[in-house]
Amino acid sequence: MSLKQFLQFKLSQKLSPQQIQLMKLIQLPTQAFEQRLKQELEENPALDTGKESETSDDNLDEFDNSEDNFDDNETIEADDINIDEYLSDDEIPEYRTQANNYSADDEDKTMPYAAGTSFTQHLINQLNTFRLTEQEEEIAYFLVGSVDESGYIRRSLADITDDLAFTQNVYTTEDEVEKVLNIVHQLDPAGVGARNLQECLSIQLHRKEQHPDVELATTIIDKGFEQFTKKHYKKLMQKFNIDEEQLKDAIEEVERLNPKPGGSYAGNNKIVEHIVPDFAIKIVDGELELTLNGRNAPELHVSREYNNMLKGYKETKEKSKSQKDAVMFIKQKLDAAKWFIEAVRQRQQTLFVTMSSIMHYQKEYFLSGDERNLRPMILKDIADEIEMDVSTISRVANSKYVDTPYGTKLIKEFFSESMTNDQGEEVSTREIKKILETVIEEESKKKPLTDEALSKILKEKGYPIARRTVAKYREQLDIPVARLRKEL
């Protein structure tokens, strides 16, 4: 097999590091952008914050032009130039002494979180009030440790028995584990440690004060749970020989129960994630006004001290190899700082231009707040209008929020496909979903409308939609089928 050389012409397109950095910044929401900003400030000492004006690029340009004139054989004593005079003698960087990187109008607020007992520890504290053998105690602790945030143990007794043997060196039987599990079921909140919804509801009903309605509800959950979940009310009335009023009272008892007992624990210190809007839209004198969150536009500039260090090197007549290496490092940091500042500026401009285009495209909705006024809009519509790539619009829309007079909205919610009504006009699928939701809210719950009936109603309103499309929209709205919407 012989080796051959040949030429191949190929046209390729590559993104520069600066473009990649910009794309990554654009897709970050406000809080993630703040973290990225702090990280860059910590990693690059040549980047600084504040109201100081950005330094000139002349020093960098002159340094580039003078590199070829550097002679490696030139030497200079280290004492002849003191680089330390260009550096701050403060061990704490300036940006670390500032309260935050927000705009001047923002207040520095912190949200304290109270410390407390975890849900698992709360259950263990209750276990300590029971008299248990050493093995039962180990099994009980293992069961409590298997309880999830909702309060359920979603594992079979066989799996738990095996895990006790392999991980805890506790050899037991399923019967003994079930015996200890019944003790766990006595803990508060009621229903904790259940293996499924039926057991959870049954535990809570058995713990309640017994009267006819509770007793009937308990019987229905224990012996007719499948018919209950499928809302086969006639079958339940026949099976338990009761009338509609009795069944209605029993169902009301079940509806008062908590299907997720773990979520009711007051000491469950789960930190709630707060959404920080990236934009704000206000109506001023009948016109829309768009503003970008101040946290998206921090004041950044190249460090004056690092620029002075470069300038000092340039003015030095005799230069050593070690000094050149040091200044090359400084120049790299200054370049990185300038690139980052430019990327932040372009990010701010891209976000504002994109959201401004979306706002004007959906002007009728933002003025009225009625979702039926949402126009059909896809990513390409906005990309063509502002002459940007579809991927850029997607990055802006997927993770950004806007504060409107009607609440905080995810930007991608304003995008929707279109369909043609019976008058030949293009309407948004969001408009159709809103009408579908309204029709379902106004239906008789004793006889809910089927998907076929909903399709006919929408056709009468001028929206020719097939039954399967109605089913798809209903599922997207998280609305159950007609049978599960039925009420007595």
Task: Please give the residue that has the higher pLDDT: either 307 or 379.
Answer: 379
Among 165-174, 338-347, 420-429, name the one with the lowest average pLDDT: 420-429
Is the domain of 251 the same as that of 281? no
The structural domain count of the chain equals 3
Is the domain of 391 the same as that of 365? yes
Quote the tokens at residue 463: 């929206």
Q: What is the pLDDT of residue 27?
A: 80
2 domain-assigned? no
Q: What CATH number is associated with residue 480?
A: 1.10.10.60
Is the domain of 241 the same as that of 301? no
Among 48-57, 158-167, 294-303, 449-458, name the one with the lowest average pLDDT: 48-57
| Interhelix angle 174-184/119-127, nearest 10 degrees | 100
Is the domain of 171 the same as that of 302? no
25 domain-assigned? yes
- Compute how many other C-beta atoms are within 10 angstroms of the C-beta atom of residue 283: 13
- Compute how many other C-beta atoms are within 10 angstroms of the C-beta atom of residue 459: 13
Please check the confidence at residue 160 and state whether its pLDDT lies above 50.
yes
Is the domain of 171 the same as that of 299? no
Is the domain of 326 the same as that of 194? no
Please check the confidence at residue 12 and state whether its pLDDT lies above 70.
no
Is the domain of 446 the same as that of 351? no
pLDDT in tens, 307-323: 677 677 666 666 677 77
Q: Are 241 and 228 in contact (CB under 8 A)?
A: no
Q: What is the pLDDT of residue 8?
A: 79
Q: Which of 230, 264, 298 is the last residue of a domain?
A: 264
pLDDT band at 357 (very low <50, low <70, confident <90, very high): very high
- In SS3 terms, the chain reads as CCCCCCCCCCCCCCCCHHHHHHHHHHCCCHHHHHHHHHHHHHHCCCEEECCCCCCCCHHHHHHHHHHHHCCCCCCCCHHHCCHHHHCCCCCCCHHHHCCCCCCCCCCCCCCCCCCCCCHHHHHHHHHCCCCCCHHHHHHHHHHHHCCCCCCECCCCHHHHHHHHHHHCCCCCCHHHHHHHHHHHCCCCCCCCCECCHHHHHHHHHHHCCCCHHHHHHHHHHHHCHHHHHCCCHHHHHHHHCCCHHHHHHHHHHHHCCCCCHHHHCCCCCCCCCCCCCCEEEEEECCEEEEEECHHHCCCEEECHHHHHHHHHHHHCCCCCHHHHHHHHHHHHHHHHHHHHHHHHHHHHHHHHHHHHHHHHHCHHHHHHCCHHHCCCECHHHHHHHHCCCHHHHHHHHHHCEEEECCEEEEHHHHCECEEECCCCCEEEHHHHHHHHHHHHHCCCCCCCCCHHHHHHHHHHCCCCCCHHHHHHHHHHCCCCCHHHHCCC
153 domain-assigned? yes
> What is the residue-averaged pLDDT of the chain?
77
Q: Identify the top-confidence range among 87-91, 341-345, 423-427.
A: 341-345
327 domain-assigned? yes
94 domain-assigned? no
Q: Which residues contact 175 (CB under 8 A, 6 or more apart)?
A: none
Q: Compute the distance between CA of residue 260 and CA of residue 190 in angstroms, rounded to an integer.
A: 10
Task: Using a pLDDT cut of 90, give the percent of the chain over it.
Answer: 2
Measure the CA angle with vertex 62, ends 56 and 63; round to 5°: 105
345 domain-assigned? yes
Q: Which of 415, 431, 453 is the last residue of a domain?
A: 415
Q: What is the pLDDT of residue 53?
A: 44
Cα 258 to the center of its chain, rounded Å: 27
Is the domain of 247 the same as that of 315? no
Measure the CA angle with vertex 417, ends 397 and 438; round to 5°: 100
Rg of the chain in Å (alpha carbons): 34
Is the domain of 286 the same as that of 408? yes
Please check the confidence at residue 258 and state whether its pLDDT lies above 80.
yes
Mean pLDDT of 372-384: 85
Task: Using a pLDDT cut of 70, give the percent of the chain over it.
Answer: 77
Q: What is the pLDDT of residue 483?
A: 75
Strand 287-292's sheet: what is its strand order?
A: 287-292, 279-284, 401-404, 407-410
Is the domain of 189 the same as that of 158? yes
Residue 462 sits in which domain range? 419-488
411 domain-assigned? yes
Mean pLDDT of 149-174: 86
pLDDT in tens, 78-120: 333 333 333 334 444 444 444 444 444 444 445 554 555 678 8
Is the domain of 426 the same as that of 365? no
Mean pLDDT of 293-307: 73
Is the domain of 145 the same as that of 219? yes
User: Considering only CA atoms, which of 13, 101, 479 is closest in space to residue 295?
Assistant: 101
104 domain-assigned? no
Quote the tokens at residue 175: 């019967």
Q: Which of 392, 415, 438 is the last residue of a domain?
A: 415
Please check the confidence at residue 231 and state whether its pLDDT lies above 60.
yes
